[in-house]
Structure 1
Amino acid sequence: MAKRRSTLGAVIRELRNSNNWTLREMSERTGIPVSTLSKVEHNRLTLTYDKLQELSARLNIRMSDLFAESDAPPPVASVTARRSLGTRDNAFRVQTANYDYYYLCAELRRKRMIPNITTIRARSLDEFGELVHHAGEEFIYVLKGQIVVHTEFYDPVTLEPGESIYIDSNMGHAYLAGPDCEEAVTLAVMSSADDDLMDSLITMHGER
């Protein structure tokens, strides 16, 4: 049987998962930024020879192990029965200049959907700053107030309570409180093939 050649991203992800490390924990061990590790794992970026040497030294593995071939069949997805009850009181809160995020059901790791309640305060693009980009897709439903949605390729749109929008998150976007309210509250659901989407989002908030 022919061996299946693993990509560098697959090898790094397998190594991280076998040690039960988050992207942030692996970043701390390797000195490579979380955003870079995430891109490498999803084959959107590679590492230079010097970085590969540093990675193998810090993780105490042979450099050749980063280019290993595998004759194992692709893993079969297992059936899971997870559940989590989320409230604003037990949410994981992240506060930024523009938003307050309340991440719901945060104890579940490697979720493909990230639900959160967001309080939006910024009222202009000058106040908000650069448009945000990240992997995946997202759905926004207005619970309270009024929001103005700015996106990279469309004219701004104003949404009232009970209205919603669905966008590709890699398109630049910003959610602003409407001119008729001091702040707005939305329910948002982000989704991505990235197993560590929540880590990536939190890191992005921190960088901002």
Structure 2
Amino acid sequence: MPNRQEWNTVQNDSLTLIGPRLKSWREKRSMTLAELSETTGISTSTLSRLEAGKRAPNLELVVPIARALRLELDDIVPRTALDPRVSRTTKRIGEIQYETLSPESSPVQTYKVTFPANPAGVVAVPDPRVHDGQEWLYVLSGRLRLVLGEQDVTLGAGEAAEFDTRIPHWLAATGAGPAEVLSIFSKEGKRIHLRARPATRP
């Protein structure tokens, strides 16, 4: 139900849409002006003027109407869309570069990760990681080595992997150039198709 603080954020151009929206919702509920008047205690003439845009909407009118029609604020007034652009930041952990592609408040965190070139190859897996959640990887360019538990796979550009991060895992570029990866991390979510070929162990 709309409160005063939310109402104060409504733009003037949105206010003009409230009357027609209320009329549309009333008709969807198959309710006449007389029935809505009886339920809300607002005269039919006032309701008619409000729906026609001839009466300025206010909380004293809209709240009882919204209750009678079983509506929420979003049903009556479309919220102003926020700037969808993400403020991107870049950080390095060791030689690996992480570029944020989602806001910090998002339940799903997305990064563009660049793993440095590793032309000589790495035989040992120095530090497998374990943490709660699911991770999705999509290789944008280069070749990525993923060690997951007892599995050792190599993914090329255009290949994707999804795995439970509670399983010890380790990632690194393999080959002459760096590997750029789109990484999506969440505690829950749908699985993505895993298409990878076994790596040739050094």
TM-score under structure 1 normalisation? 0.45
TM-score under structure 2 normalisation? 0.47
Greater relative contact order, per chain length (Cα 8 Å cut-off, separation 6+): 1
